[in-house]
Amino acid sequence: MAFNNMLDVAYGRVGKLRYELMQSLLSAPDTPLPPPVIPGKDKSRPPVYSHELRALLMSSFARKNPLKARDLFSPPILPARAKPGSADAILLGPLSKRREANIRRRYFTTEWKKVLPPLQISVEPSCSDRNSKPDVASPRDIGFEQTNVLQQVLDLAGGCFLSPRPTRREHKFHIDAVPPCSNPFDGNLPTRWLRRRYRELLGRLPLLTCQPEQSVHQGYAISVSKNALIGGKWQASRLRFVDEDDQAWLQDMRGLQRSAIL
């Protein structure tokens, strides 16, 4: 759909902006460099996965086929000959170090290109409390932290639960008490259709949340908005809670079913 493609380009799901958002995630300044695969050759060092990139690679909200932690340490496309004590290494000889370095770099490049980058890092209140945890460093800026771009998308997508349309009697007696809802869209396209397009966009916008640990490194959780549409289905958190009236109705219906059976 052309409108979805326009939203993907505008919010960095495809195109140049997506590449720019990923560049800050590819660097890991606080992570020590691993030893080179070929001794004395710095260019043969394995790629470094930042904490943010690790969380995105292993999340189903940021990519279709999430990776496992062992895949980041040992790529699954790496031949068994890379292990010195394996049967293939004994039979066929050890794998070339140059080839191993190239395979690790190629796997890193291939997999990060499958990731949908977040627009910003959401900070939990405990992560910004520097008095309780002075050793925890604040998360870095990766995109639109200093703007309200993400909040604008959430506002355009609409609220968590839309109340049903008031009846004629309620509209007659409460027309002055309830202010009319303002329409954030302008144009001839239906508001309901536009909100659905933005909710589908939320399904392609992973939320990267900082969760501090008891060390200098942060932990990151990946999620999506509760109003997101993924595969045309709502999130479970968007479903309406069952109140007392609903429970009473359910009990009455169960009683009617039992009496009908008897």
pLDDT in tens, 19-39: 999 999 999 888 889 999 999
- pLDDT at residue number 201: 95
- pLDDT at residue number 255: 80
**One-letter-per-residue 3-state SS of the chain:** CHHHHHHHHHCCCCCHHHHHHHHHHHCCCCCCCCCCCCCCCHHHCCCCCCHHHHHHHCCCCCCCCCCCHHHHHCCCCCCHHHCCCCHHHHHHCCCCHHHHHHHHHHHHHHHHCCCCCCCCEEECHHHHCCCCCCCCCCCCCCCCCCCCHHHHHHHHHCCCCCCCCCCHHHHHHCCCCCCCCCCCCCCCCCHHHHHHHHHHHHCCCCEEEEEECCCCCEEEEEECCCCCEECCEECHHHCCCCCHHHHHHHHHHHHHHHHHHC
Per-residue pLDDT of 143-153, as tens digits, reads 898 899 999 99
- Average pLDDT of the residues of the chain: 83
Pick from 26-35, 104-113, 122-131: least confident: 122-131
Per-residue pLDDT of 37-93, as tens digits, reads 999 999 999 999 999 999 999 999 999 999 999 999 999 999 999 988 889 888 989
